[in-house]
Amino acid sequence: MSEKVGAYGTKAAESFRRTWDKEEYAAKAREKDRLERERMQENDELMRKGKKPRRFREELPKATELMKQREAPLELDKNLNKTIIVQNPGGRGPGQPGFYCEVCNRTCKDSVGYLDHINGRTHLRRLGQTTRIARSTIEQVRARIAMLREKTREAAKAKAFDFDQRLEEVRAKEQAIRDAKKAEKKAAREARLIEAVTDPQADEMASMMGFGGFGTSKKH
pLDDT at 72: 79
Q: What is the pLDDT of residue 89?
A: 60
pLDDT attached to residue 212: 53
pLDDT number for residue 214: 46
Q: What CA–CA distance (Å, rounded) separates 142 from 140?
A: 5
Task: Supply the DSSP string of 174-207, one letter for each residue.
Answer: HHHHHHHHHHHHHHHHHHHHHHHHH-HHHHHHHH
Q: Is beta strand 99-101 parallel, antiparallel or unpaired with respect to 129-133?
A: unpaired
pLDDT for res 145: 92
In angstroms, the CA 220 to CA 217 distance is 10
**CA angle at 10 for the pair 7 and 16, rounded to the nearest 5°:** 85
> Are residues 84 and 97 in contact, defined by beta-carbon separation less than 8 angstroms?
yes
Could you list the mean pLDDT of each consecutive 10-residue stretch along the chain, which spans 220 residues? 51 52 78 81 81 68 79 81 72 74 86 90 86 84 90 81 78 90 88 71 62 50
Check if the beta carbon of residue 214 is closer than 8 Å to that of residue 195. no
What is the pLDDT, as a whole number, of residue 55? 67
pTM of the model: 0.42
Q: What is the C-alpha separation between 176 and 184, in angstroms, rounded?
A: 12
DSSP class per residue in 86-125: -S-SSSSSTTSSSEEETTTTEEESSHHHHHHHHTSHHHHH
**DSSP E strand stretches across 15-170:** 65-67, 99-101, 106-108, 129-133
pLDDT score recorded for residue 8: 46
